[in-house]
Structure 1
Amino acid sequence: MAPNRREKGNTVSDSDPHFSGGGVAADGFDRFGTLPDCLLVSILSLLPIEDAVRTSVLSTRWRRLWTLAPLRLLDDSALRSEKFPNKKLLAFRAFHDEEQWRTQEGWRVRAIDGVLSAHAGPIRSCRLSRVYFHIPLLDGWIQTLSQKGVQDLAILIPMEKRFYLVHPSLIACQSLQSLELCYCRILKPTQPRPNLVNLRVLNLKRSLVTDAAINDLLSCCPALQSLALVHCAGLRRIHLRSPTLCIMMLDDYSWEVEELFVVDAPNLEHLMLGKNTTRRTHVKVLNAPKLELLGFLDMSIKMLQLGSTTCFEKSMVTLSTVVHSLKKLAIRVDFNDDLQADIVFDLLRCFPCLETLDVLIADMDDDDEPDVEYWKQQVSLDCLDHHLKSVTLKGFLGQRTDSGFVNFLIAKARVLKVMTLISVHAWKEGWVETVQQGLCLQNKASIDATVVFMKEKHEINQFQPWSSLF
């Protein structure tokens, strides 16, 4: 018989339908006890894993309920021993020896192992990121997660353990919708073949990946919408062919990439590149009819091809392709370099429907002798006459060349709404007023245009959506 419990002088059994261990209302009636298990399980699925597990001590009814709730955000960094709770962990690591710290991490590993073993599933979300990670157990955990229908999975291996060769069950997990890997290794898959039929988001960070592996993964991910390659090694030639891909990101630190060809991506909308990528990588966009966002394009270009338009070694060879779909462009330019200024003007001509222009100003070479009258000599363009509404210049110095570009846009952009000039010099007293005097604000083509000066603060994210590339 279940043990009796006494509540305000009354004898109550935990087998009583009005007692669930969840607490009794002021009128003595247990509200939680009237709820069906399916609703309690739904509530438990919203709690952090530690709190959900603690409910198992309330009564015999609650003992297994948490194991039926779909687990979300099972983050091993949130699991803490009662001995070292919350923020005391960092202080503990700083002032105790390594063996004791490993003891705490050992507790965490055992907790993860116990949760994965006891929980019946499904497990919707899981993030494994601890420093003293027990790699030998990881293969088994991945198999368990795959069997229990994990949808969102992040495996962030510590640097000293690089690179973890992902278990074959991971790339054959049909339930996966989002996958993030860090310090992992993906070679050309053999058996089983990748079968990520529901994968929509793939983020590979600081991982070893081959061209063949990426090609195989793309061919076996019919629902993939977003691909990010960040600090990855081993890639040389990336040839994108995906009917569903919408977002592609390649950051600056994938040094070895020689080619990035968008061969066939009919739904690609965003192509995000590190600010130096086009200086060393041949970028070719052949079929991306929905491309709306492109950047960064460094004006010191190795080779850029947009359809039949080719920019090679700082000169525009042909200019026959007009990309009407592009709405947002980010460029990196040294305005003291006349060749780079030429490329900026020609690129603006390629994008007649451009609405947003973001400019990262490179360190301008004082040894150059630029044509300070260059922008005064240029005619207007279709994008300036009809579409360009927002311009941001980060790294603005107020020199004659970058101010000349600003004045060109002020005088030509007929529908411009706002121009934001972000500068480290904006902190100096009187600097903004001096620069404003040199701008031709009285000649605005758009009466609604506003010029805003902003102080550059490196710790503040001021350059969306490009800040993730820095």
Structure 2
Amino acid sequence: MTRIRSRSLARAAHQEADFISQLPDEALSFIISKLPIDEAIRTSVLSKRWRRLWRFTPHLEIDGKRMIMPLAQRENPLEAQDPYSQLSRALNRGLTRYGLRISVILIRHSGDLPSCRFIHFPYSIAREEVVCWVKLAKFKKVKNLSLECEFFDMGTIENVLDIYEAVERRSKPDFPPGIFSGLFSLQLIHYTLSSPEPFVGCENLKTLILKNIYIDDETLEGILENCQGLENFSLLESYGFGKLQIHNPNLKVLQLSVLELDEIVVFAERLEVLLFDSLAYPGSLKIYSPSLRVIHSYSNSMLGQMFALSAGKQVLKASELLGNYRHFWDSRSNFFLSLSKFSIDMDLNDVQDCRLISTFMKLCTRLETLEITLPVHNDMTNRGIYWDLRVACNCVHDQLKFVYLRGFKGNNQEFEFLKHIITKGRKLVRITIICRQPIEEERLLTLSNASPKLSIVLKLKIHSAELELHEIQNRALISYN
């Protein structure tokens, strides 16, 4: 009797500690939706209750690499290129069953499916499986769709131009007219788009992300015309076009990254967030956005510099962006009037850059947050003294609250800028300084703060410029996507 009682007590204690089983089915299905589809289906072997839970998940993450791609092929893609190798034959057998498996998964899913992501191989485009999946997803009332063509055989391609030609040749799906209608958000990665017809009826599309897309001017213009309800548009690392003209009264967030453009025209009355990352300097740049609140302007991307050099151009820098509009700053065309946050990469040791920052802050009457990333290697052509005798503008006196300096080295001009801000910023709350090397902290401690609420945070991070920029970009994209 004692032994039976001890077992009963142990069983009861185990049941009390099993918090997961006490969760409702809706919560468990939501947790499962965070797993790739292969792991989500494996949960059905845990118990009878878990057998059907994956079918009610609000999101399906279908990744072809996990479903059919052997580990050896991931480590050695060249072996898969040999049609007579055992690995290549096994991969081909998996590809022939792959499309059917995904279709069966979509059919067996019960209820509505709000979100779905497909990562597939070019093989699925040639067999028109991708179009079939999108149609099934549309039948399941998917509102948020992500499609990505995965290229696992890039090991045989020797140069960048060959990669572009391969992408254009093998990633051209034949999407029928209006197939994307009814979606709220759409992400396309690694495709060639030759017609705007698939976007007919996309008036309700709010978010569109195009990355590594080959597209011509006419198709891009047609897509933007069909998506007049867009609020968030991202065009990243894409090519084939030379002009970007956006006339959209509903657009709120615009992100342009690693592009080679001859002309940029943006007329968006409600645009609030603008992100420029490593753009080849365009011949014409016109922006009308009276509601702009946030600007991010970066030029440190290595990939962006490669694009610009291949076109015989320079990367658009924040100083050039400001200088381009310096001649048009007045009460009617100044799109900095409503700006509350500005994140740029500039050299505080360069007198010309300092002059532009000073002029800019005089015009930003509502600026509260200023983020500056300093270059790893300083240009020694425009050295000089600037900040020590400057009179603070109203922005520094009465508006600026948060300052973020990344890549600080402790040079004299960098300290002079900090001194100018600390001793004259009456509303400052926090200054965060990310140092690339140890600095003299005593020089900061001896400064008299104009703001009684000011706190100064010093951090030492010795990274490459690319890693630092990646952190900034992730912070911006997470905030506004």
Aligned AA (1:267)? R
Partner of 1:127: 117
Q: Could you tell me how far apart the structure 1 residues matched to 2:363 and 2:418 are?
A: 20
Aligned AA (1:150)? V
Deviations 1:188-239 (A, max 9, x none): 42x5662112211111111112333333222222432111111011232212
Give the alignment partner of residue 138 of structure 1, picking from 130, 155, 175: 130
1:404 Cα shift?
A: 1.7
Q: Does 1:385 align with 2:389?
A: no
Deviations 1:100-141 (A, max 9, x none): 344445544331132235557644322111457522222222
Partner of 1:158: 150
Alignment TM-score, normalising by the size of structure 1: 0.73
Q: Determine helix, strand or coil for the equivalent of 1:358.
A: strand
Q: Could you tell me how far apart the structure 2 residues matched to 1:250 and 1:73 are?
A: 28
CA contact (8 A) 1:370 1:401 kept: no
Deviations 1:330-379 (A, max 9, x none): 1221233322221111111121110000001124545325222x111221
What are the within-5 Å matches in structure 2 for residues 25-424 of structure 1? 47-48=32-33, 69=56, 72-77=59-64, 80=67, 90=71, 93-94=74-75, 97-118=87-108, 122-131=112-121, 133-135=123-125, 136=127, 137-159=129-151, 162-163=167-168, 164-169=171-176, 171-189=178-196, 191=197, 194-251=200-257, 253-254=258-259, 256-263=260-267, 265-274=268-277, 276-277=278-279, 279-280=281-282, 282-286=284-288, 288-296=289-297, 300=317, 304=321, 311-312=323-324, 316-321=326-331, 322=334, 323-365=336-378, 367-368=380-381, 370-372=383-385, 374-424=386-436
Q: Could you tell me how far apart the structure 2 residues matched to 1:123 and 1:222 are?
A: 25
Aligned AA (1:400)? N
Looking at secondary structure, tell me which structure has more helix per residue: 2
Q: Could you tell me how far apart the structure 2 residues matched to 1:318 and 1:138 are?
A: 48
CA contact (8 A) 2:130 2:173 kept: no
Aligned AA (2:293)? E
Q: Determine helix, strand or coil for the equivalent of 1:183.
A: strand
Partner of 2:447: 442
Note closer, same or farther for the CA distance 1:284–1:366 as it changes in structure 2 (3 Å cut). closer
CA contact (8 A) 2:318 2:345 kept: no
Q: Determine helix, strand or coil for the equivalent of 2:323.
A: strand
1:157 Cα shift?
A: 0.8
Note closer, same or farther for the CA distance 1:294–1:302 as it changes in structure 2 (3 Å cut). closer
Q: Could you tell me how far apart the structure 2 residues matched to 1:173 and 1:367 are?
A: 52
Unaligned runs of 5+ in 2: 1-11, 13-23, 77-85, 155-165, 300-315
1:327 Cα shift?
A: 0.4
Percentage identity across aligned positions? Answer: 22
Moved more, 145-154 or 222-231: 145-154
What are the within-5 Å matches in structure 2 for residues 7-26 of structure 1? none
Deviations 1:145-183 (A, max 9, x none): 334332121111123562323433375432211111111
CA contact (8 A) 1:333 1:340 kept: yes
Larger Rg: 1
Aligned AA (1:180)? Q
- What root-mean-square deviation, in Å, do the aligned CA atoms of Structure 1 and Structure 2 show? 3.8
- State the number of aligned residues: 404
